[in-house]
Every structure is written in structure tokens, then in C-alpha cells.
């Protein structure tokens, strides 16, 4: 499965702070409609929204660039990677982006910008489109491995019973028949 693309209906724009005023701050608070919250396919997992997505953003000048902090909050349901039971996942994360007219030039020096993801823009307009960065923030907040609990025991490899519900009747000495041929393999060590 490939990564789901950003829904076209996701449109997040924040008004630019007053030009040249370092004290000027603009804010955005938005929740996309339920119809735009379809399941997300990511890294072989399906994430179903169980709570609406809440997006908050704040923009301010940082020298000649605009610094935008994006906060996303929502909840998903997905299958546990070990036992396949439905698992609830809450995300609450914030990300920083630096919108800049300058080209992203690599330099060997550490600067304040190292804490930001730099987003190049061609010109300043009244509103700054942060839709792609909101989508990126949601995707980066998803776990790479979903677990129903940190001590999930998974499934029995022989009978498939969830070991979280107790032991199954399978003998621990029982070998998966697909691996029996490996018992006859001998590995010789080369000595120099």
C-alpha cells in the first residue's frame, strides 16, 4: 500500500503577520470537515480517524522569513502490529516551519534555522498556504509500529490465538512445518 495523498479538501491558510513588524503575530485555528477525514494508509497500516482533526498555527516574522508553528491534535484507530486487535492512538504534536524567499542554501554553519523545516516561497501574499505542512505534521506524528500495549504478547505462530488472552494449547516444542527442512542444514565454519 502506498501513502495516502493529502485530501484536496484540506486547505489551511494563515494570514501573514504585518510586514516588518517583529511583534505582529497571526493565528489560525481550524478543523476540517468530517467528510475530508478519510482513512490514511501509511507504512503498511490503515489509520482511521476516531476524532476530528484540530489544527492550530501561529505565524511571526523571524528576520526576513516567517516562522510558523503548527500544532495538530487528533485520534486514530489501527490494528496492533503484534496481535491485530484494534488500538487507539492519540496524537498531539507541534512542528516549526520557516517560510523563506531565499533559496535553501546548504552551509557548514549551525544557525537558528536548524530547528526549522525551511519551506521556500516565491513571493509574499496576504495568506500563507500551510496545507502541505499540516499534512506532513499529521503523517510524521503517526507511529511506525502500532501496539495495543507495550507488553503485547502477539499471536501464537501455530494456532493464531492471541497470547494476551492466555496460553494456547500448542506445545512450545512444536516446530512450524515450514521450518523442518532447516533442521538438516549444517553450516561449516572456515578457519584461517
pLDDT at 167 (0 to 100) = 87
pLDDT score recorded for residue 181: 81
Query: What digits encode the pLDDT tens for the residues 151-172?
Result: 999 998 878 889 999 888 887 7
Give pLDDT, residue 103.
Answer: 65
CA dist 41 and 119 (Å) reads 25
How far apart are alpha carbons 10 and 2 in whole angstroms? Answer: 19
Residues 6+ apart with CB under 8 A from 103: 120
Residues 6 or more apart in contact with residue 127 via CB below 8 angstroms: 13, 14, 15, 16
What is residue 113's predicted lDDT score, i.e. its pLDDT?
45
Burial class (CB in 10 A: 0-12, 13-18, 19+), 73: middle
- Domain of residue 141: give its range: 1-192
* Ranges under pLDDT 50 in the chain: 1, 106-113
At CA 68, angle to CA 117 and CA 51, rounded to 5? Answer: 95
Domains identified in the chain, total number: 1
**pTM for this predicted structure:** 0.77
Measured in residues, the chain has a length of 192
The string of pLDDT tens digits covering residues 85-100 is: 999 999 999 999 999 9
| pLDDT at res. 82 | 92
Residues 45 and 78: beta-carbon distance below 8 Å: yes
Provide the pLDDT for residue 178.
78
**How much is the pLDDT for 34?**
65
Amino acid at each position: 500500500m502506498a501513502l495516502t495523498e493529502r485530501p484536496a479538501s484540506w486547505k489551511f491558510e494563515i494570514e501573514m503577520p504585518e510586514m516588518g513588524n517583529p511583534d505582529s503575530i497571526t493565528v489560525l485555528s481550524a478543523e476540517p470537515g468530517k467528510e475530508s477525514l478519510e482513512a490514511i494508509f501509511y507504512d503498511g497500516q490503515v489509520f482511521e480517524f476516531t476524532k476530528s482533526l484540530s489544527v492550530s498555527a501561529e505565524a511571526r516574522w523571524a528576520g526576513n522569513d516567517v516562522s510558523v508553528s503548527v500544532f495538530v491534535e487528533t485520534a486514530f484507530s489501527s490494528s496492533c502490529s503484534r496481535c491485530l486487535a484494534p488500538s487507539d492512538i492519540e496524537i498531539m504534536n507541534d512542528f516549526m516551519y520557516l517560510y523563506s524567499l531565499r533559496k535553501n542554501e546548504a552551509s557548514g554553519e549551525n544557525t537558528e534555522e536548524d530547528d526549522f523545516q525551511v519551506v521556500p516561497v516565491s513571493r509574499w501574499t496576504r495568506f500563507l498556504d500551510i496545507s502541505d505542512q499540516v499534512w506532513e505534521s499529521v503523517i510524521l506524528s503517526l507511529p511506525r509500529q502500532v501496539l495495543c500495549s507495550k507488553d503485547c504478547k502477539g499471536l501464537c505462530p501455530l494456532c493464531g490465538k492471541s497470547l494476551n488472552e492466555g496460553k494456547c494449547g500448542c506445545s512450545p516444542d512444536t516446530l512450524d512445518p515450514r521450518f523442518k527442512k532447516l533442521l538438516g542444514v549444517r553450516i561449516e565454519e572456515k578457519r584461517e
